[in-house]
Amino acid sequence: MEPVPEDWQRALVIAAHPDDIEYGAASAVARWTRQGKDVRYVLATSGEAGIAGLPPAECGPLREQEERASARVVGVEVVEFLGHPDGRLVAGPELRRDLAAAIRRHRPEMVVTGHFGLTWFPGVLNSADHRALGLSVLDAVADAANEWIFPELTEQGLPPWPGVRWVAVSTTSPTHAVDVTDTVEAGVASLAEHRRYLEALAPDPVIDQARAQVESATAALPGFDRAAGFELYTFGG
């Protein structure tokens, strides 16, 4: 198991929903921000369809607020929401254009996104939004570097950005890992900021839910006592 490269200064973490980043990847983010790296978040949706019984008009702003608080726990101050509809992401030109625009705005060297396989485990279907988002992120990295695919972005003052060197995808079958031995607790605290969301999921105390989820997602990997696992894609850079 190889370590995820860390010879970069700026990362952009792209997720479908508030809370997606906090199930494991936030512990890696905490490590990176402690190294002095600039890490920023982009969320495709506001998660407005994510809490049963809470109307989207109320849920969206609440979940945005929880995500911003969660990000601050691990040293992230820039959090951007693209406003796509929760539960209805489509892997197509519109989403790719908005993601390419975000990549051009933030100009990262490392992009991090979530698992987009059909299933989490055999028989456990992954979210349609996750599937659409992850594939679109990979395409958008190439789009962001190409002056001809979305030329309107250049006209809007967003010139091509060919500087992405890697995309690290959270996955259940990792090829690379980030040592999070010293930042698991920060990851737990980050997920616990999604209080209203977690309260709707289960009656257990929020901190207990957060700890169980993060510790499960950052178990030992070969060569690492505690790790966030990723599949690494390399780009020209």
Residue pair 111/164 in contact (Cβ under 8 Å)? The answer is: yes
User: CA 87 to CA 56: how far, in whole Å?
Assistant: 12
For residue 83, the domain's CATH number is 3.40.50.10320
Indicate the number of domains in the chain. Answer: 1
Q: Residue 106 has what pLDDT?
A: 98
Per the prediction, the chain carries an average pLDDT of 96
Q: What's the rounded mean pLDDT across residues 102-109?
A: 98
Q: Domain range holding 66?
A: 2-234
Q: Residue 112 has what pLDDT?
A: 98
User: CA 37 to CA 163: how far, in whole Å?
Assistant: 16
Q: Strand 166-170 to strand 110-113: parallel, antiparallel, or no bridges (unpaired)?
A: parallel
Q: Is the pLDDT of residue 237 over 80?
A: no
**Tokens standing for residue 198:** 């977690």
Q: What's the rounded mean pLDDT across residues 51-73?
A: 97
Residue pair 107/122 in contact (Cβ under 8 Å)? The answer is: no
Kindly indicate the confidence band of residue 162, based on its pLDDT and cuts at 50, 70 and 90. Answer: very high
Kindly indicate the confidence band of residue 24, based on its pLDDT and cuts at 50, 70 and 90. Answer: confident
Q: What's the rounded mean pLDDT across residues 141-167?
A: 97
Q: Residue 8 has what pLDDT?
A: 98
Q: What's the rounded mean pLDDT across residues 69-81?
A: 98
Q: Residue 236 has what pLDDT?
A: 79
Work out the burial of residue 230: count CB atoms within 10 Å of its CB; fewer than 13 is exposed, 13-18 middle, 19 or more buried: buried
User: CA 217 to CA 21: how far, in whole Å?
Assistant: 11
Q: Residue 89 has what pLDDT?
A: 97
User: CA 103 to CA 100: how far, in whole Å?
Assistant: 5
